[in-house]
Amino acid sequence: MTRTRYIEIGAAVVAVALTAWGASRVLERMVSPVPQQSTAAAAGSAVASVPHIIATLYYAGSDGQSLAAIKREVPLADGVLAQGRQIIQSQLEAAPMPYVSVIPAGTTLRAFYVTDRGDAFVDLSPEISTAHPGGSTTELLTVYALVNAVTTNLSSVQRVQILVGGKEADTLAGHVDLRRPFERDTSLVKTP
Amino acid sequence: MLVLATLSLAQGTAPATPLALITREGRRPIPTIILNSQEFIALDDVASMFQVAVREDALAGGVTVSYKGRTVVASADQPMASVNGRVVTLPAPVARVGRRLYVPIDFLPRALAPIYDAPIELRRAPRMLVVGNVRVVRVVPRIDAVGPLTRATIEIAPAALVSVATDAGRVLLRIDADALEVGPTPPGTGLIDQMRTGDQSTTVAIALSPRAGIPRVSTTTTSDSTRVLIEVPLAPQFQDTNAAPVPPLATPPASFPTQPADALPLLPPAGPRLQTMVIDPGHGGDDLGVRGAKGTVEKQVALDVARRLKTLVETRLGVRVVMTRDDDRAVTLDERDAVANNSKADLFLSIHVNGALSPSVAGAEVYYLRLDREGEDARRNAAATELVLPAVGGGTRPIDMIRWDLAQSFHVGDSATFASMLEEELRKHIPMGPRPVQQEPMRVLAGANMPASLVEIAYLTNANQEQRAQSGDFQANVAQALYDAVLRFRSYLEAPPGR
């Protein structure tokens, strides 16, 4: 086999890999419709060296009363469940400057699954409740950051129910009703 | 010195039937006089009844009546008055009789009402001056003696709940209203000796003949009116010898009972009135709620404000107040709803103090429940499957079936109204946040089977607001604002616009 032949085969393999990766992105709607807001935070991610998607995550804006929708790089994963876990893990991490995370520090993802009806269950560690600072405003931001992060980036998910420590919970901090699943709601999202 | 018109009939004459003042506190006669075929009321009586200031005004050429900075100038020369700069006509100008000044009684609804806090309505035919949001129902009684039965029919409009008490020799109806506007009362006929409508109360009493048997009472209510039908048969011992209709008795009985007997059957309880309110101080016990940087905790501020509000509502409105907690203890959200529902409360208010991730956030916010798809479905299904059960004493009573945890579904409209009133009253006293009224899925509101709202009175995460939240002045201002909203909502419940 000639050297040219090796180059052709290599190029073909790369092309197939790129095509498959692109197709998976389309199928999973990883590049979701995002409001016209800042994407500055997408730069400089630690996952830039591995395949990733651009997902929309939600953080407290500068006014402390609304959510900012920020595009960030999230590791590429295979399938809705795996990609959903990656998105939530990223949402649980610290916020990029100058935003503030609305998820209490120490909160981890215990499980994530989706029913045939498109209801997703996000099971978080108890810190989401026990370490929550409280107040209706902050609690609403926490709930809708999680709900919107999942429903915005995974088109197959229609509603999100938040579980705490593997169980249904009344509220995170005494205000917002968690007993039923939430649909996507961007009324708290403020365009910078 | 202003010279006022002095009418020729210097002393005037008393009207044949005194004008009755109808307020929530009851009914009492108002002294009026007739001058030149017009009915007048003395301005010093107006001053004491309505807490207005009256003074002769030479500069304005009449009499000035002031109330809370608002003014009416009634002319001494012309049959008119200026109300906040707008002219209204009157049947006659201000008159002087002896040392007293008089105005036509139309002055009250036409000139005083526009500057007064409460509605003032003059009902000429029943000779009533209705002040405030008072529920006055019209009662038209009728008696028919046909065959062996004597039938009394009492038409009540608008529809009202009626409690029926019967015992030997009488039937007494107590109508759920503040006052009755009673039509002509028929004379005793057949087996009914006398019918008398309550001059001082909201009762209609029917005295039965000694030959009357046990009366049968039924109540029918439509959207517009309530009809009480009382059918009085002849007592069995008279039936053999008195098969023909019983003639009316010549004279009414000497004594006429007016008080209902104890432990007599009653219809369902009263309608949409504010009789019981539940105040819910948020958090408590181990649940501190939001903590300020200087150590202020939400649970204590919420309790302090709740106690202040409780005192205001109980002492000023006479409304029963139930607290979901009156000390520092943990209460679950379900328990809070259970307290409200089991108390059959008419209003629920949850008091909280907010927290934000940014210390700059400040201001009060009001929440009422946002229904999700399931809540909307539950509300529709419940409305479609309403049950109607017979009520004790006659008539029927609709029973709404809805899941306990979706109880608020029926009340979201009224809750929105209450939230709006809370926002408007709070805004007069304390700063509001940028989203002052929000509709969100608040857990403690979902199970409340009555109009319900949640207020966040300040942000403890804001240094300035944390300091203020502890102060008695701030808490008193908040309690006053909440009280004012409750007062407005009570008026809304009793005379809701468009209902």
The answer to whether A134 touches B298, Cβ cutoff 8 Å, is yes
User: What confidence tens digit (pLDDT) does each residue in B244-291 have?
Assistant: 444 444 344 433 343 343 333 333 344 448 999 999 999 999 999 999
CATH of the domain at B199: 2.60.40.3500
Q: Of B131, B148, B163, which marks where a domain is finished? A: B131
Q: Give yes or no: residues B195 and B281 share one domain.
A: no
The span from the CA of B101 to the CA of A31, in Å, is 83
Instruction: Return the residue of A nearest to B440 by Cα.
Output: A176
User: What confidence tens digit (pLDDT) does each residue in A67-77 have?
Assistant: 999 999 999 99
Q: In angstroms, what CA-CA distances link A72 with A22, A45, A52, A96, A106?
A: 18, 8, 10, 9, 21
Q: Give yes or no: residues B298 and B401 share one domain.
A: yes
What does the block give as tokens for B104?
A: 């036509």
| Better-predicted residue by pLDDT, B392 or A9 | A9
- In this prediction the ipTM stands at 0.76
Assess whether pLDDT exceeds 60 at residue B305: yes
Q: What is the mean pLDDT of residues B118-142?
A: 86
Q: Give yes or no: residues B213 and B325 share one domain.
A: no
Instruction: Return the residue of B nearest to A104 by Cα.
Output: B357
Determine, yes or no, domain membership for B8.
no
Q: Give yes or no: residues B435 and B292 share one domain.
A: yes
Q: Do A60 and B357 touch (CB under 8 A)?
A: yes
Q: Give yes or no: residues B450 and B336 share one domain.
A: yes
Q: Of B212, B239, B266, which marks where a domain is finished? A: B239
Contact status of B431 with chain A (Cβ, < 8 Å): no
pLDDT of residue B418: 96
- Split at pLDDT 50, 70, 90, the class of B201 is low
Measured in angstroms, the CA of A176 and the nearest CA of chain B are apart by: 5
Determine, yes or no, domain membership for B224.
yes
Q: Give yes or no: residues B311 and B402 share one domain.
A: yes
Taking the alpha carbons at both ends of chain A, their separation in whole angstroms is 58
pLDDT of residue A31: 39
User: What confidence tens digit (pLDDT) does each residue in B443-473 have?
Assistant: 999 999 999 999 999 999 999 999 999 999 9
Residues of A in contact with B371 (CB under 8 A): none
What does the block give as tokens for B454?
A: 């949640």
Determine, yes or no, domain membership for B446.
yes
Q: Which of A58, A62, A65 to mutate to test the interface with B (most CBs of B within 10 A)?
A: A65
CB nearest A135 (choices: B356, B440, B444) = B356
Residues of B in contact with A175 (CB under 8 A): 352, 442-444, 454
User: What confidence tens digit (pLDDT) does each residue in A154-186 have?
Assistant: 999 999 999 999 999 999 999 999 998 999 999
Contact status of B461 with chain A (Cβ, < 8 Å): yes
Question: Can you give the pTM of this predicted structure?
Answer: 0.56
The span from the CA of A11 to the CA of B172, in Å, is 100
What SS3 class is residue B169?
coil
Determine, yes or no, domain membership for B14.
no
Amino acid (one-letter) located at B369: L
Determine, yes or no, domain membership for B342.
yes
Q: Give yes or no: residues B437 and B343 share one domain.
A: yes
CB nearest B361 (choices: A65, A174, A179) = A65
Q: Of B107, B131, B155, which marks where a domain is finished? A: B131
3-state helix, strand, coil in chain A (%, to 5): 35, 20, 45
pLDDT of residue A29: 45
Which positions ≥6 away from A121 have C-beta within 8 Å? A111, A112, A113, A114, A115, A160, A161, A163
Determine, yes or no, domain membership for B250.
no
pLDDT of residue B108: 93
Q: Give yes or no: residues B431 and B453 share one domain.
A: yes
Total domains, chain B: 3
Which of A127-136, B4-13, B73-82, B315-324 bottoms out in mean pLDDT, i.e. has the lowest?
B4-13
Q: Which residues does chain A have with pLDDT short of 50?
A: 24, 26-47
Q: Do A135 and B433 touch (CB under 8 A)?
A: no
Q: Give yes or no: residues B159 and B62 share one domain.
A: no
Pairing of strands B170-175, B203-208: antiparallel
Determine, yes or no, domain membership for B57.
yes
The answer to whether B355 touches A126, Cβ cutoff 8 Å, is no
Measured in angstroms, the CA of A182 and the nearest CA of chain B are apart by: 8
**Beta-carbon contacts below 8 Å between A and B:** 100
User: What confidence tens digit (pLDDT) does each residue in B73-98 have?
Assistant: 888 888 888 887 788 889 999 988 88
Residues of A in contact with B454 (CB under 8 A): 136, 175
Q: Do A179 and B365 touch (CB under 8 A)?
A: no
Q: Give yes or no: residues B400 and B346 share one domain.
A: yes
- Split at pLDDT 50, 70, 90, the class of B164 is confident
Instruction: Note which residues in 326-385 of chain B have CB less than 8 A from chain A.
Output: 332-333, 352-361, 365, 367, 372-374
Q: Do B443 and A133 touch (CB under 8 A)?
A: no
CB nearest B440 (choices: A138, A176, A178) = A176
Segments forming the whole domain that contains residue B86: 19-131
- φ/ψ of B220, rounded to 5, equals -125, 130
Which stretches of chain A sit within 8 Å of chain B by CB?
Answer: 60, 62-65, 100, 102, 133-138, 140-141, 170-171, 174-180, 182-183
Q: Give yes or no: residues B299 and B437 share one domain.
A: yes
Q: Give yes or no: residues B310 and B408 share one domain.
A: yes
Q: Do A136 and B361 touch (CB under 8 A)?
A: no
pLDDT of residue B271: 46
Residues of B in contact with A140 (CB under 8 A): 440
CATH of the domain at B309: 3.40.630.40
